Amino acid sequence: MSPEAQAQSLLRRLLDETLDPGYELAAERRTGTEAADRSSPASGWLERFILAGCLLLIGGLTTIVIAQVRSSAPQREELRQALIQDIAEQRADGDLLQQRLVEVRDQATRAREELLAATSQGQSALDELDRAEAGAGLTTVRGPGLAVTLTDAPMPEDGGENLGRILDRDIQSVVNELWAAGAEAVAIDGQRLGPTTSIRSAGQAILVDFRPVTNPYLIEAIGPANMFDQLLESAAGRTLASYAAAFGLGLDVVQVEQLDLQPGTGAVITRAEPAELQNDTGESGP
Amino acid sequence: MKGIRTGPLIPILGLAIGIAAGVLLDPTVPTSLQPYLPIAVVAALDAGFGGIRARLDGIFDAKVFVVSFVSNIIVAALIVFLGDQLGVGAQLSTAVIVVLGIRIFGNVAAIRRHLFRA
């Protein structure tokens, strides 16, 4: 038999012989032996009860599975909604704590400034602190600058991979070019960057200091007027522009007269040592 | 045929009790068994429709029915189990459903021809 004929006969058998061949065989056996015992009522009753058992199983199994599937679908949706709500709540809590942190830090800063301003040594420490804080992105900075908006390309219609997605690397390269062009302060989606800020992906999300930022990504930078040209002529700027042309991602750079960048929250004091005290307060120290 | 003469009362009663038990008792299935149940149901339905058709054909045999019913369920569950172990559970389930689906379809068509002569 040729392979085609074999395949055809297999399909034909599948489509035609839908009845278990066992029935025919049993029927042939019966006509062969001309079974007289079939009329015995005992085996008839037994058979019928077994039959009833099988049908009971069919009915029971079917309803059980239907009930199972029905009850598990809404459960999954409920669970999903509960998780979404949890996320929203936790995020609101986090925002609240963040706000509280800024307030408390403000209080602490004011108290510290009052105390330090009382002495000349304290005043010089304060000046040093101001410089350090400005460098660490812990002060509000106002001034002219750039707003760079990076946007994911729209999803391809054929459902394929979106090559125009913004990656952590794209944001990193823009930020690096901005620092290199002399930016004093940079923020991503309103989140101020400090010296130890990380910009990296976790799965599909991009995290700045472990807080997610979302498309479109707005990078604001305060710095000299030539940042605009420097950014667009830099390697990173040219690469992104070519990506924008090839994959349709959005790259939009505008100069802004007045930017207002809020302080970051990043600094954690890991090392401190006491200053050499001069005896000009009269009452400090044992 | 004896079965046709005396009527299918007890088996149909069994079916009704099974459905009622499934609805009323609402039993929870152990998680380990859950993947096998849907395919077991399709296998059971195949055996059931096969039985009805054989009966209408006049060649019904309770022994053949019970054996095909039990073995259908066990083999279907076994195939899914084996497929899960081999990492092709979804594909094997699809294969089983396709074959059983074709058989159910053919048997129901035969039953329809018997009942409506069309």
- Residue A282 has what pLDDT? 45
Inside any domain, residue B26: no
A208: nearest Cα among A186, A182, A223, A230: A186
- Residue B93 has what pLDDT? 87
- Residue A42 has what pLDDT? 46
Contact A167, A248 (CB under 8 A): no
What is the phi-psi region of residue A155: left when phi exceeds 0, alpha when psi lies from -120 to 50, beta otherwise?
beta
Q: Report the DSSP beta bridge partners of residue A143.
A: A259
Least confident of A181-190, A196-205, A225-234, B5-14: B5-14
Q: What pLDDT, in 10s, does the model give residues A139-191?
A: 888 999 999 999 988 887 777 778 888 889 999 999 999 999 989 899 999 88
Chain B: residue nearest A63 by CA?
B22
* One-character DSSP codes across A186-215: EEETTEEP-TT--EEEETTEEEETTEEE-S
- Residue A188 has what pLDDT? 92
> For chain A, which residues make up each domain, given as ranges?
143-261
**Which of A15, A19, A67 is nearest residue B26 as measured by Cβ atoms?**
A67
Inside any domain, residue B52: yes
- Residue A186 has what pLDDT? 92
Buried b (16+ CB within 10 A) or exposed e, A189-223: bebbbbeebebeeeeeebebbeeebeeebebbbbb
- Residue A278 has what pLDDT? 58
Inside any domain, residue B69: yes
Which one of A51, A68, A70 makes the best mutation probe of the B interface by having the most chain B beta carbons within 10 Å?
A51
Task: Count A/B contacts: CB-CB distance under 8 Å.
Answer: 146
Inside any domain, residue B72: yes
Inside any domain, residue B2: no
- Residue A39 has what pLDDT? 43
Chain B: residue nearest A53 by CA?
B14
Q: What pLDDT, in 10s, does the model give residues A17-56?
A: 778 788 888 888 877 765 444 444 445 677 777 788 888 8
B53: nearest Cα among B115, B118, B116: B115
Whether residue B103 is predicted with pLDDT greater than 80 in this model: the reply is: yes
Q: Chain A residues with CB-CB distance to B under 8 A?
A: 14-16, 18-20, 22-27, 30, 38-39, 44, 47-69
Place of tokens 């930078």: A221
Chain B: residue nearest A10 by CA?
B99
Inside any domain, residue B57: yes
- Asked if B53 has any chain A CB less than 8 Å from its own CB, the reply is yes
- Asked if B4 has any chain A CB less than 8 Å from its own CB, the reply is no
More confident residue, B32 or A213: A213
Rounded CA-CA distance A24/A29 in Å is 9
* Mean pLDDT value across residues A81-102: 92
Number of domains chain B contains: 1
End-to-end CA distance of chain A: 108
Rounded CA-CA distance B40/B53 in Å is 20
Which one of B10, B33, B71 makes the best mutation probe of the A interface by having the most chain A beta carbons within 10 Å?
B10
Whether residue A116 is predicted with pLDDT greater than 60 in this model: the reply is: yes
Tell me the range of A37-51, A79-93, A114-128 where mean pLDDT is highest. A79-93
- Residue B8 has what pLDDT? 65
Between β-strands A141-151 and A185-188, what pairing exists: parallel, antiparallel or unpaired? unpaired
The single-letter DSSP state of residue A274 is P
Judged by CB atoms closer than 8 Å, whether chains meet at A18 and B107 is answered as yes
The count of C-alpha atoms lying within 13 angstroms of the C-alpha of A169, restricted to the half-sphere facing its C-beta, is 6
Q: Which of residues 70-109 of B touch A (CB under 8 A)?
A: 70, 99, 102-107
- Residues from chain B that touch A56, judged by Cβ atoms under 8 A, are 14-15, 17-18, 21
Rounded CA-CA distance A165/A244 in Å is 10
Confidence of residue A83 (pLDDT cuts 50, 70, 90): very high
Residue A175 CB partners (closer than 8 Å, separation 6+)? A186, A188, A193, A199, A219
What's the CATH number of domain A143-261, 3.30.70.1880, 3.40.190.10, 3.90.1150.10, 3.90.550.10? 3.30.70.1880
Rounded CA-CA distance B16/B10 in Å is 10
Both tokens assigned to A23: 């029935």
Judged by CB atoms closer than 8 Å, whether chains meet at B15 and A58 is answered as yes
Query: What ipTM does the predicted assembly reach?
Result: 0.76
Alpha-carbon distances of A11 from A30, A243, B47, B54, B108, rounded to whole Å? 30, 52, 20, 22, 18
* Mean pLDDT value across residues A258-278: 76
- Residue A174 has what pLDDT? 92
A65: nearest Cα among B15, B2, B35: B35
Confidence of residue A121 (pLDDT cuts 50, 70, 90): confident
Inside any domain, residue B104: yes
Structural domain including B86 reads 32-116
Inside any domain, residue B94: yes
Q: Report the DSSP beta bridge partners of residue A259.
A: A143
- Residue B3 has what pLDDT? 43
- Alpha helical stretches, state H, A118-234: 120-136, 168-180, 227-233
* Mean pLDDT value across residues B90-111: 88
